[in-house]
Amino acid sequence: MKKFLVVVLALCLALSMMAPALAEKAEGWNNVNAEGYQWPDYSGKKISFMWWGSDTRAQKTIEMIDLYKQLTGLEIEYEYFDGGSYWTQFQAKQAAHALPDVFQMGNNWLTYYDTIEPLNAYIEDGTIDTTAISEAMLATTKNQANGDITGMSNGTNARCFCYNPAIFDECGVAYPTENWTWDDFAAACRTIYEKTGNPAVTTLEYNSLAFSTVTQWKEGYNFYSMDGTSFAFEGDTAPLAYIFDLLTTLQKEGAIADYGIQNEIGQNVEADWIASGEAAIMMLSSNQFQALSNVAKENGITLELCTIPRVHADGQSGMVVRSSQEMCIYNESQNKEIAANFLNFFVNSIEANKILNCERGVSINSDVLAALKADPEKTDEVTGKVYTIIDLIGSFPDAANSSPAEPAANEEISDSLKKTYFQGLAEGKFESAQDAADKFWVEAQEIWAKYENQ
């Protein structure tokens, strides 16, 4: 009997010791917005972090980092670059096995997949709290082939256009509608150029517009498969020839800036002519609108967002709401648990996101988004325009018809699409737009095969 009581007491003691641990892992245990939340003590610890973006993004991100240090004592060594330099730096660090613990990644994550630590385990054990994040939002950074969560999305965005309504008014041009067409766009550009003497447009993402035009051409059509593992394109190059011809013709007429001007602006959206009142239309990602609007406001200019033109007013939009960027953990990091907690704060903290204020995209956390929308200091007129365009694009029936993963071959295919074919056509290196489109499709398949055989 005595032996039995000893065993029972030992069992009770073991269960009592396990109880706090079991309670600690209850759903939402790492909800940083919960009343009385206990911040981890990372005094004496350090992680590294790298991102790309504008000066506005850098200021906001550094302020958020400082807040996390105040709360946890964690030292975060950081680096940031413009969009072009970032990938040069990334590839050099990748080759040296010296990537930071946390890094920003785009929808090209499949290219760098062998550097990424899947987050599934941290989500399953609650270290990264997803109680206020829908499955649909989590899916924006999921490898559809194997279910790996590759990173935590910084928010959703969409490629779209913005315009200066004052120039449209001055030139007697109607504002873009939600289903304006490429014919409408061409007419607007020509009129604005004729009336102002300046190109109407000084920044376009040519590869993105080519792929969007493929999607617009007919229902269910797309350039890549949904999981990024193959082409969905069936070889009908008519949509490519169409957009090659339209944009090249407008450029030759002067209504779209030449490549010299566009390359000088590069990926610095704040340097686009639209911010100084010299251009009327620009293509950008919706999360870049805040930084652009800040510069435009200094010049007394108010900008508006609109959709990408489509082939037919009653046809496919060719647009999609997707993850803007994601934050990933380096799979060779020695600080993965700390990095996961930092990501949890980055994505889920209301206070952190009041600093960031959706600069990278509209928050995927419903509690954060509700708090921002309820705060008139955070949801100003510019932010409200971003929310509106995201809601509009998300309502389009074909908005889900896009691959969340850019294939490894996409970077080279896209680079060739712009530099060899769009620019080559403008320089007279092809007999026609159809000739350029046909030759691009042949090369795209050759590039794909090269990556497939690696």
- pLDDT attached to residue 403: 56
- pLDDT attached to residue 229: 86
Q: How many CB atoms lie within 10 A of CB 448?
A: 19
- pLDDT attached to residue 219: 84
User: pLDDT (tens digit, 0 to 9) for every residue of the chain, 454 residues total?
Assistant: 444 444 444 444 444 444 444 345 677 899 999 999 999 999 999 999 999 998 989 999 999 999 999 999 999 999 999 988 999 999 999 999 999 999 999 988 988 999 999 999 999 999 999 999 988 788 889 888 889 999 999 988 899 999 999 999 999 999 999 999 999 999 999 999 999 999 999 999 999 999 999 999 988 788 998 778 899 999 999 999 999 999 999 999 999 999 999 888 887 888 899 999 999 999 999 989 998 999 999 999 999 999 999 999 999 999 988 888 999 999 999 999 999 999 999 999 999 999 999 889 899 999 999 999 999 988 889 999 999 999 898 888 887 665 557 888 999 999 999 999 999 999 999 999 999 999 999 999 999 999 987 6
What residue spans in the chain does CATH classification 3.40.190.10 cover?
46-154+325-387, 159-321+399-452
- pLDDT attached to residue 406: 81
Q: Indicate the residue type of 142.
A: K
CATH number for the domain running over 46-154+325-387: 3.40.190.10
- pLDDT attached to residue 400: 66
- pLDDT attached to residue 27: 78
Residue 103 near residue 328 (C-beta atoms within 8 A)? yes
User: What's the distance, CA 290 to chain centroid?
Assistant: 14
Give the strands of the sheet with 281-285, arranged side by side: 281-285, 159-163, 304-306
How far apart are the C-alpha atoms of 446 and 454, rounded to whole Å?
Answer: 13
Buried-exposed string 105-137: b where 16+ CB fall within 10 A, e elsewhere: bbbbbbbbbebbbbbeebbeebbbbbebbeeeb
Q: How many CB atoms lie within 10 A of CB 300?
A: 8
- pLDDT attached to residue 107: 86
How far apart are the C-alpha atoms of 349 and 69, rounded to whole Å?
Answer: 14
This prediction's pTM: 0.79
Class of 159-321+399-452 in CATH = alpha beta
Residue 189 near residue 200 (C-beta atoms within 8 A)? yes
